[in-house]
Amino acid sequence: MHATALWDEGADFIDLGGASTRPGAAEVSAAAEWERIRPVLEGVLAARPEARISVDTFRAEVARKAVEAGAVLVNDISGGTYDPDMFAAVAEAGVPYVLTHVQGTPATMQVAPHYDDVVMEVHRALGGRLAEAREAGVGDVLLDVGFGFGKSLEHNYALLANLELFHSLGAPLLVGVSRKSMVYKPLGTSPDAALNGTTALHAWALERGAQVLRVHDVAAAREVLALFALLHPESLPGPWPA
């Protein structure tokens, strides 16, 4: 199973999703989403009981079911904007939460995304959502600026260049750039050929204070972390949450 192979390579979490959130993706029902996640989640925990499962969903209903089945983290690309019940569901479950910035929906997010100042607007939006999540009782929150979720190539690189500014919000930062179009399109390649570019962006993200990397290639990412530790032994991020 691919998920258990990732765990064996050294992943801290296995992120499972049952509804594509790629730009242009069609929506699936909550029932269909859960039926895709459930057997994989159960299979991973049966094979690797110690594995920590993150559920990638923007639906409170699916998040609740996943946590009941053993997931220990909710990763929501909408930052609670697609389902107003999400913050309450995560607070009730008492699990950590990845709060991501998005402009639009998967079906529309890459149709001419616009910002007057992408860095400040994303910073302000994440700060507002973080305050609402904490007010709702969500304790552990990780922030994701949402590379590729309603951003142009220029927006993505502006956010990466200024990632350090987001530390002022007072929550750990997750970076998800692995094999995305911001890597392969400028290089004129493809997702399959994007590992080298992904590795470069991972190193730059760590230099700017990223605490968590969401990756496809665990072993390669572990190598980046190992080398980063030699440069910055005092600031190497550890597993989150501890």
Per-residue pLDDT, 237:
53
Residues 6+ apart with CB under 8 A from 150: 101, 102, 103, 104, 109, 110, 113
Query: Is-catalytic flag, 180?
Result: yes
Catalytic residue among 38, 180, 208, 222: 180
33-80 tens-digit pLDDT: 999 999 999 999 999 999 999 999 999 999 999 999 999 999 999 999
Tokens 């190992």 belong to residue? 226
Query: Is-catalytic flag, 214?
Result: yes
* Mean pLDDT, residues 132-148: 97
DSSP state of 179: T
| Euclidean distance between CA atoms 146 and 113, whole angstroms | 13
* Mean pLDDT, residues 116-144: 98
Catalytic residue among 38, 124, 214, 222: 214
For domain 2-173, the question of CATH label 3.20.20.20 is answered with yes
Tokens 């959130």 belong to residue? 21
